Structure 1
């Protein structure tokens, strides 16, 4: 019995040593590929949460859209000229750009447009600053636009720093909504023939080419493509 007890004690000792070795092995072994230990998972969650918080802080909120007021005329004039020059300045003569901007933009010019009952000016605003705008008007349409009550999207421009953030999409949707409220059956616009990016954007909203007209940029008579779409129809890509 004494020998058996001693043997039993030796077995217990061996088992204890084995258990200690296994504990050490588990503590120091690397986790298998494709699996994450609980501690690592918690750490990853903390990093993800911190990253998401930083992303939320660094990414600005989407601008809100509202109607222009007379007090917006000065800021609107500045944004309108800035965006027009950013869009077309590098591919047109400086003097033609200057002539067009002097005639088309200025506090008094934009104030008259905001006050015009046959126009609507929509502004995108973020943090008190204007980021984009659109102007709609109801003053007839070229003969190539077949409609009973056409409405024109005269201008739609987004500040360069807001390109690619969905602002133009939201603004265009707001324009179509205004056309519906005014009971227009067709929306139309003119786009420079050398601006394929803009034409591709309009096509996503269902606009198709229906004709052309001349747009005088200073002393340069340029060709604009006329595009139109039904206001009531819903387009999947828009």
Structure 2
């Protein structure tokens, strides 16, 4: 199995936008109204918003490739880029998105390991993420690899308030 991970740059913006919309839609379209999904996609993944996120010095995007095909993405945030004030010792995994044809091939695990590497490089002691309370497969995956629920916060899908569980993993010393 050939897997590679590359850091995204400004030149990747069109593909980043395309894969973000595709994966988010595939994952959440059946549980949300078309109007709320459309509103979220337009807000979160418009070119200006993604360009701003790409340019932020405390955010990083990565593409994962499976046999040279773009299979998914990872976005991590540190310091003031985190979506919740978790402190400078924390790294947030804001997005792990895997395209449907590449699900269940272990790519999420690769991206989690990449996030842990980034956290250690930046001397972070905790990694956290938000996961929708109804996304049982993702919750199971994160629990299996050592994340524990430490809180919850609101996530807005259009005008609908939803609850994301905040899950945290403390990094062990090397």
TM-score, normalised via structure 1 length: 0.68
Question: Are residues 1:159 and 2:112 paired?
Answer: no
Question: Are residues 1:75 and 2:15 paired?
Answer: yes
Contact 2:2 2:67 in 1 (8 A): no
Seen in structure 2, the aligned counterparts of structure 1 residues 189 and 213 have a Cα distance that, compared at 3 Å, is same
Return 5+ residue gaps in structure 2 as ranges: none
Counterpart of 1:5 in structure 2 is none
Contact 1:76 1:130 in 2 (8 A): no
2:60 to 107, 111, 120: 120
Counterpart of 1:195 in structure 2 is 135
| Rg larger in structure | 1
Alignment of 1:169-208 (within 5 A): 169-208=109-148
Deviations 1:78-118 (A, max 9, x none): 00010000000011010000000000113332222222101
Q: Secondary structure at the match of 1:173?
A: helix
Contact 2:76 2:95 in 1 (8 A): yes
The alpha carbon displacement at 1:195 in A equals: 0.6
TM-score, normalised via structure 2 length: 0.91
The alpha carbon displacement at 1:231 in A equals: 2.1
**2-structure distance, mates of 1:232, 1:170:** 18
Counterpart of 2:27 in structure 1 is 87
The alpha carbon displacement at 1:124 in A equals: 0.8
CA RMSD of aligned residues (A): 1.9
1:136 to 76, 79, 84: 76
Number of corresponding residues? 172
More strand, by proportion: 2
**Structure 1 runs of 4+ off > 6 angstroms?**
none
Return 5+ residue gaps in structure 1 as ranges: 1-60
Contact 2:72 2:97 in 1 (8 A): yes
Deviations 1:16-60 (A, max 9, x none): xxxxxxxxxxxxxxxxxxxxxxxxxxxxxxxxxxxxxxxxxxxxx
**2-structure distance, mates of 1:131, 1:222:** 27
Indicate the structure whose relative CO is greater, using CA pairs within 8 Å and at least 6 residues apart: 2
More helix, by proportion: 1
